[in-house]
Structure 1
Amino acid sequence: MDGLSGIALLEAKLADTFALEDVDEARSVLEGYGAEEWHRERDRVWLAVIKQSGGSVVQLQEWVDLACRDYRDALAGAEYPESIRLLAQESSSPEAQAARRRDAQQYRDWLASSRSAPDDRLP
């Protein structure tokens, strides 16, 4: 999985996250974000909403709807889940700093993970 970027990474994460019969519908739902000029960082947002959907097309739609209102909310939950939970604590606390490091690592790990071999991917 290392080295994948752009559309290849998005397609790989779709194939890893959704059942084969749901991939086309999930791809269609994703198209709901990115069409407007104020929609920022489309690929990054798509990855974030895919991750948070848990493989549910219904959840994916809810995350896409949220991203359309404020894309940062969608990014935060995917990229900084522990830090979000620790917002009430002082951000310079050792626990908050450790949470930020774990958050960054878990997101890198998720991006690099794969349930299937590259040959099993959809075209």
Structure 2
Amino acid sequence: MCTGEPGLGGWPQPRCTSRTGGTSTAYRSQPVVEDVAAPARYVHCTFTEVPPGSVSVAGEPVEGPRMVGLIHDGRSPEVRARLLHGIADAWCAVTGDAKSDGAIFLHEVPRANVLEDGEILPEAADDPVAAHA
């Protein structure tokens, strides 16, 4: 289950890391794109399970999920903040995890640095599909 908040341009390439047998396993079959404003063909989701103790913060093991999302560049700080909180809230609503147990990192990628379906993505101003961004 990796989602974005409607109307925010979605979360086109999330990577979700959680402990083996954790909550992500049970929710993978849910539609990944149900809450994402981006066209479904732009949404790629990867789940990685790691053994307990494989993820640490300040040298201490943590159990909560870690998510890294690649998004197209150009979103305002307010939109990025709403996207981060929307993703966390959606995850917690489905899994029951506490928001404070996880971490989410967004990385902006220039559209010119993305090749999908054999095509380099056009800049948002030149892409009619990017109206959601």
Q: Same fold (TM over 0.5)?
A: no
Instruction: From the two aligned structures, give the one with the greater helix fraction.
Output: 1
TM-score normalised by L of structure 1: 0.29
TM-score normalised by L of structure 2: 0.28
